[in-house]
Structure 1
């Protein structure tokens, strides 16, 4: 992961005090929320390294909760995110992570929705508010959320990747980065594609019509959620 410009180092417009411990943490929480596809009912968050040692003083717990609530990095409500989560009936538990982590500022989030569906994400805040997602639902991935991202869960079958890229090509959607992981030969697989533009509903519909595709999720940190009045 490279810092592409000075703003990658300074960090985004944010609620302080730290671009790594606060802004990055908000983005990890927000990506986890979007991976689940809705507001979670409960979340267990394991913190590693510096996150585990200093999360309270840097507001990392508030920032992660803010992202889970759909807040952006500069939303003043981040400071009261845990209280708001409690008000909404969302149970958030913090624990110290055990074992190795890909980066000193790493969080593992296990989310459960009201209907019992679950999602799991491991993400790291690597500086300047930039994050790197290393795992989604047990698959090894690599994405930053800096660009609109499609996460496709599918069966590992010949021709699936070609079908995915053909549909994107026909829609004139450029792929900036693509990664694939699978749980085994002919088992479940995941394809993650960072795009140069936000995918429209027609494109997503066509992807979901592929026989081997089980789920298509869009990660977009620039997607604004409706704020409560």
Structure 2
């Protein structure tokens, strides 16, 4: 993972003792909330490696839940996030996993409401930098930079259609990948960009044939 500036190493403005265990955790939680597109009713948070061993002391539990409540890394409500979640009707369950992950700061978040469910796996790399490595069993790489996720039917020409729209609005792509489970079935396109994505872009992408959903990530 390349750091773009000194702030990636020092860490962001934040509440909490650790950029990896607190700021990174808050960002993972917030990405999960963004992907779910609303506040869930239930969250099962499975912690691995270092996260599982030190999450209470480093406030990782508070930060993850704060992210699910859509709090940023510097939000002064982070220390009270568990109580706020309970009052908001968000049930939270923490599980300390013993499996050895590829990265020591790994968390799996399962979100539920009456109609939807979502599974997100993320890692906190350091300095508040994160990567989402899996969404609903789709393996991918999402860093939390300005990005869009395009959920679509795996069809000929869809990638060209999406990139044509981005080119029309002069949006430069920094990273892009496509994940699918089976040929011709559902796929996810991850596109990280260099500038803010306006509503008009999202609207036009949603209107493309074979596109099922477009999600703009937290910027």
- Short-chain TM bin: over 0.9
- What does residue 227 of structure 1 align with? none
Q: After superposition, give the CA deviation of every residue in 1:132-171 in whole Å (9 maximum; x if it has no partner).
A: 11011221110111x2110011011110101010111011
- What does residue 33 of structure 2 align with? 33
Post-superposition offset of 1:190: 0.5
Post-superposition offset of 1:121: 0.7
Aligned length: 219
- What does residue 211 of structure 2 align with? 213
- What does residue 133 of structure 2 align with? 134
- What does residue 144 of structure 1 align with? 143
Q: Does 1:119 align with 2:118?
A: yes
- What does residue 21 of structure 2 align with? 21
**Length-normalised TM-score, structure 2:** 0.97
Q: Is the 8 A contact 1:134 1:140 kept in 2?
A: yes
Partner-residue secondary structure (3-state), 2:77:
helix
- What does residue 162 of structure 1 align with? 160
Q: Is the 8 A contact 1:62 1:82 kept in 2?
A: yes
- What does residue 153 of structure 1 align with? 151
Q: Is the 8 A contact 1:167 1:207 kept in 2?
A: yes
Please, which runs of 5 or more residues in structure 1 have no aligned partner? 223-229
- What does residue 79 of structure 1 align with? 79
Post-superposition offset of 1:112: 1.2
Partner-residue secondary structure (3-state), 1:76:
coil
Post-superposition offset of 1:58: 0.6
Please, which runs of 5 or more residues in structure 2 have no aligned partner? none
Q: Distance in 2 between matches of 1:117 and 1:183?
A: 20
Post-superposition offset of 1:3: 1.4
Q: Distance in 1 between matches of 2:206 and 2:97?
A: 36
Post-superposition offset of 1:100: 4.2
**Length-normalised TM-score, structure 1:** 0.93
Q: After superposition, give the CA deviation of every residue in 1:78-110 in whole Å (9 maximum; x if it has no partner).
A: 000000000111001000235342310000001
Q: Is the 8 A contact 2:49 2:98 kept in 1?
A: no
Q: After superposition, give the CA deviation of every residue in 1:187-213 in whole Å (9 maximum; x if it has no partner).
A: 111100001112111111111111211
